[in-house]
Structure 1
Amino acid sequence: MLSRPQIQPYAQFLMGASAGMITATVAIVEPARITPAYLVGFAVIVVSCVVMALVWRAQPTVATEWICIVPLVTILACAPLRSNAIDVLPVTGMLVIFPVAWLAFAFPPAVAALGVVVAGSLPLATSLPRTPGEWMALLTVPALLGMFAAASRFVAVDLGRNRNRAQRASHRLAAALDSSTRTDAALRQLLDTTPEAVVVFGDDDAVLLANAPAREIARRGGIRISLEQDGTTHVYGEDRVTPVAVGPGLRDATVAGAFAEPRRVWVGEPGDQVALRFVARPIVLDDEPIGVMVVAQDVTELVDAVDVRDRFLDTVGHELRTPLTVILGNAELAVAGAMPEHRERWETVQRAAERLEHTVELMLATGRAHLTPRPGRSDVRAVVDEAVAGLEDDRGVSISVTGDAAAVEVARDDLHAVVAELVRNAVQASPDGGAVSVDIRSSEDAVEIAVTDSGPGMTAAERRQAFDRFYRTARARRGAVQGLGLGLALARALVEAHGGTVQLHPHAPGGTSAIVALPRATTLP
Structure 2
Amino acid sequence: MSAAAELLVLERRASLERLRASASRLAAHPAVALGIACVGLVATFAGMLASGRSGPIGTIMFVPWVALLAARLGPTAGGLAGVAATGLYLTAAEVVGLPDDPAALALRLAPLVGVGVVAGLSSRRISSDALELQATNALQRALLDATADGICFTDAAGRLVFANAPLQRSAIELGLPPYGSVTDRLLTLADRTTEPGRFRERMQELASGHAASEDEFELTESGRVFCGSTAPVQRADGTLVGRIWALREVTADRRLERLRDAFVAAVSHELRTPLTSLSGFLELLGDEEDSLALTGRTYLNAARRGTARLQRIVEDLLLVAQIEAELLELRTEPIDLMELAAAAVELARPAADEKRIAVTLDIEGPLALEADSVRLGQVLDNLLSNAIKFTPTGGAVVLSASSRDGRRCIEITDNGSGIPHDELGQVFSRFYRGSSATRRALPGTGLGLVIARAIVEGHSGTISVDSREGEGTKVTVALPLRQPDGGTYR
Matched, 1:229 2:181: no
Matched, 1:264 2:225: no
Equivalent residues of 2:153, 2:244 under 8 A apart: yes
Deviation at 1:320, TM superposition (A): 1.0
Instruction: Name the CA distance, whole Å, in 2 between partners of 1:170 and 1:18.
Output: 29
Cα shift readout 1:185-218 (whole Å, capped 9, x = no counterpart) = 4444443342211121123422222233323433
Deviation at 1:295, TM superposition (A): 0.8
Deviation at 1:388, TM superposition (A): 2.4
Unmatched runs of 5 consecutive residues or more in structure 2: 1-36, 70-79
Instruction: Name the CA distance, whole Å, in 2 between partners of 1:406 and 1:364.
Output: 31
Deviation at 1:298, TM superposition (A): 0.8
Amino acid at match of 2:342: D
**1:271 counterpart SS class:** coil
Cα shift readout 1:27-63 (whole Å, capped 9, x = no counterpart) = xxxxxxxxxxxxxxxxxxxxx9xxx9xxx9xx99487
Deviation at 1:401, TM superposition (A): 1.8
Equivalent residues of 2:53, 2:96 under 8 A apart: no
Unmatched runs of 5 consecutive residues or more in structure 1: 20-47, 79-95, 109-155
Q: Which residue of 2 aligns with 1:487?
A: 448
Instruction: Name the CA distance, whole Å, in 1 between partners of 2:47 and 2:105.
Output: 10
Instruction: Name the CA distance, whole Å, in 2 between partners of 1:217 and 1:386.
Output: 57
Equivalent residues of 2:216, 2:228 under 8 A apart: yes
**1:437 counterpart SS class:** strand
Q: Which residue of 1 aligns with 2:382?
A: 421
Return 434-443 or 402-411, whichever deviates more: 402-411
Distance 1:273 1:188, change over 3 A: farther
Q: Which residue of 2 aligns with 1:300?
A: 251
Deviation at 1:428, TM superposition (A): 2.9
In our comparison, the structure showing a higher alpha carbon Rg is 1
Matched, 1:16 2:52: yes
Distance 1:169 1:328, change over 3 A: farther
Deviation at 1:520, TM superposition (A): 1.2
Equivalent residues of 2:151, 2:164 under 8 A apart: yes
**1:390 counterpart SS class:** helix
Instruction: Name the CA distance, whole Å, in 2 between partners of 1:214 and 1:77.
Output: 69
Amino acid at match of 2:275: L
Instruction: Name the CA distance, whole Å, in 1 between partners of 2:160 and 2:384.
Output: 55
Instruction: Name the CA distance, whole Å, in 1 between partners of 2:175 and 2:370.
Output: 44
Amino acid at match of 1:386: A
Deviation at 1:405, TM superposition (A): 4.4
Instruction: Name the CA distance, whole Å, in 2 between partners of 1:447 and 1:505.
Output: 21
Cα shift readout 1:440-467 (whole Å, capped 9, x = no counterpart) = 1222254322112344656656766655
**1:354 counterpart SS class:** helix
Deviation at 1:292, TM superposition (A): 1.5
Q: Which residue of 2 aligns with 1:146?
A: none
The within-5 A match list for 1:53-68 is 61=81, 64=84, 67=88
Equivalent residues of 2:155, 2:161 under 8 A apart: yes
**1:385 counterpart SS class:** helix
**1:272 counterpart SS class:** coil
Q: Which residue of 2 aligns with 1:211?
A: 164
Equivalent residues of 2:358, 2:394 under 8 A apart: yes
The partner residue of 1:328 within 279, 285, 291 is 279
Q: Which residue of 2 aligns with 1:400?
A: 360
Q: Which residue of 2 aligns with 1:250?
A: 206
Equivalent residues of 2:214, 2:228 under 8 A apart: yes
**2:208 counterpart SS class:** helix
Matched, 1:107 2:84: no
Equivalent residues of 1:397, 1:427 under 8 A apart: yes
The within-5 A match list for 1:7-406 is 9=45, 12=48, 16=52, 61=81, 64=84, 67=88, 70=91, 73=94, 77=98, 102-107=104-109, 156=111, 160=114, 164-224=117-177, 226-229=181-184, 233-235=188-190, 240=195, 243-244=198-199, 245-246=201-202, 250-253=206-209, 255=210, 257=211, 260-266=212-218, 268=219, 270-285=220-235, 286-341=237-292, 343-363=297-317, 370=324, 372=326, 373-377=328-332, 379=335, 380-391=337-348, 392-393=350-351, 394-395=353-354, 396-403=356-363, 404-406=365-367
Equivalent residues of 2:413, 2:474 under 8 A apart: yes
Deviation at 1:73, TM superposition (A): 4.4
Equivalent residues of 2:82, 2:109 under 8 A apart: no
Amino acid at match of 1:271: E
Instruction: Name the CA distance, whole Å, in 1 between partners of 2:131 and 2:230.
Output: 31
Equivalent residues of 1:371, 1:494 under 8 A apart: no
Cα shift readout 1:267-309 (whole Å, capped 9, x = no counterpart) = x4x3334322121112223422222110121112211221121
Q: Which residue of 2 aligns with 1:518?
A: 478
Cα shift readout 1:221-263 (whole Å, capped 9, x = no counterpart) = 454473352896344899746532155663332x2x1xx2432
Normalised by the size of structure 2, how large is the TM-score? 0.67
Q: Which residue of 2 aligns with 1:442?
A: 403
Normalised by the size of structure 1, how large is the TM-score? 0.63
Instruction: Name the CA distance, whole Å, in 1 between partners of 2:193 and 2:453.
Output: 24
Q: How many residues align?
A: 411
Instruction: Name the CA distance, whole Å, in 1 between partners of 2:367 and 2:103.
Output: 98
Instruction: Name the CA distance, whole Å, in 2 between partners of 1:435 and 1:520.
Output: 28
Equivalent residues of 2:409, 2:476 under 8 A apart: yes
Amino acid at match of 2:249: D
Instruction: Name the CA distance, whole Å, in 1 between partners of 2:215 and 2:415.
Output: 42
**1:229 counterpart SS class:** helix
**How many percent of aligned residue pairs carry the same amino acid?**
22
Return 220-229 or 317-326, whichever deviates more: 220-229
Q: Which residue of 1 aligns with 2:465?
A: 503
